Amino acid sequence: MTEIISSAHHGQGRTCVITRRACFSSSHQYWLPELSAAENEASFGRCALSPGHGHNYELIVSMSGEINENGMVLNLSNVKHAIKSEITNHLDFHFLNETWPEFDLTTPEGCLPTTEALIRIIWSRLKPHLPIVALRLYEQTDLWADYLGNDMDAFLTIRSHFAAAHRLARAELSPTENNEIYGKCARPHGHGHNYLLDVTVRGSIDRRTGMLCDLEGLKRLVDDLIVEPFDHTFLNKDIPYFADCVPTAENIALYISDTLKDPIKKLGAQLHKIKLQESPNNAAEVYAEAPLLETMPSTPT
């Protein structure tokens, strides 16, 4: 018994971040009453269609605190109850436009229930009950938002993919030298990967549209500038930049960051991070600005 008590007290007073996952299914529609039908359709595409559409949302709540004498930051039963009573009971199997006052578009203060607007309001409702330091909300596996409690400032991530081949070798080195550095990746005929590309942008949530930036515009940028030019290519030969730059995951991620930074700025957002998943065991992340999302869990592969 003495050993058990000693073990429980071992980490007491140390700060720890814990996470709790919660899921809910909801529908929503992007439609502003001050716009005409044509304007709504032009602005929001298929998301403007009546009666709306649904998602299986996944919420990740990150909380920080000191480890207590029971070896816990918080009682997880209390955490579960707070998330259920304040969030999922209100949203699960509901039409978001008609849930909370913040989404009442008949008032000037109402905004559309976008992923980034929803996560900000979830924060405001959970913060009085839990010591949250970050939230992540997945609308689907290739779209999610992060929020750190900074007023209207939020992060939005889209995921894309492409298949490409490459060879890792430096032209000025001998085959033996390249093999010593790059191993099997230096073999002369190259090899391929199914790459996963996560593009994270940061910006202010519009108080009416609920949007950080034009989501469809962001998707088009990534598709036009990266996915289509890269897909089913031999990077060393088909992408001029990599004719004299070794296409490692790190260098590819850096190239993507440099390529997207200015076009994303023209959309009204800031490129925050590029993550390139080369394989289940290998990924590279490049930040276009100071890292701010260290408290969040890794994105799913």
Catalytic residue among 47, 111, 166, 278: 278
Q: List Cα–Cα distances, 288 to 33, 160, 219, 263, 300, in angstroms.
A: 37, 18, 18, 13, 21
Active-site residue, 278 included: yes
Output the six-digit token pair for 142. 């290739």
Within 10 angstroms of residue 171's Cβ, the number of other Cβ atoms is 8
Concerning whether 81 is annotated as a catalytic residue, the answer is: no
Annotated active-site residue in 53, 81, 191, 232: 232
What's the token pair of residue 89?
């009971």
Are residues 267 and 199 in contact, defined by beta-carbon separation less than 8 angstroms?
no
Catalytic residue from among 55, 90, 185, 245: 185
- What is the crossing angle of helices 249-266 and 215-222, to 10°? 140
- Residue closest to 299 by CA, chosen among 77, 31, 26, 60: 60
Query: Which residues does the annotation mark as catalytic?
Result: 185, 232, 278
